Amino acid sequence: MQANYSLWPSTSRLPPCFCVPVPCVCFRSKIPGGVVGKQWRLLTVLVTLFTVGYFITPFFTLLPPEIINLIVALIFFFGAIYVLITVRLIYRIIEELTN
């Protein structure tokens, strides 16, 4: 059974998704190396992955359901990794500030 989805909800999210990766890339040159720099680089890669995910959502209706389920599962998985890295980075920063 083929679902009949409108592309409007997916394509309407495309302009705002440009607002997130641009600052990540611009701030990268201002962040020092070390632990923070490595973590920021990884976070930038994950933000780019999410942006690519937003770009492919208008084409979900063209994909088989198994592929859609796999893509959604991968987005949730990498989203969990993103949250884990962010929380650990914040903890390390707070730990350094309190010492």
Contact in structure between 84 and 46 (CB atoms under 8 Å): no
Domain segments of the chain: what residues?
A: 12-98
Structure-block tokens of residue 76: 């949730």
pLDDT, tens digit, 9 for 90 and up, residues 73-82: 888 888 888 8
- Predicted TM-score (pTM) above 0.85: no
At residue 99, the pLDDT reads 79
Mean pLDDT of the chain: 76
Q: Which positions ≥6 away from 54 have C-beta within 8 Å? A: 13, 14, 17
- Give the integer Cα–Cα distance in Å for 6 and 11: 9
- For tokens 């990498």, what's the residue? 78
pLDDT, tens digit, 9 for 90 and up, residues 22-35: 666 666 677 777 77
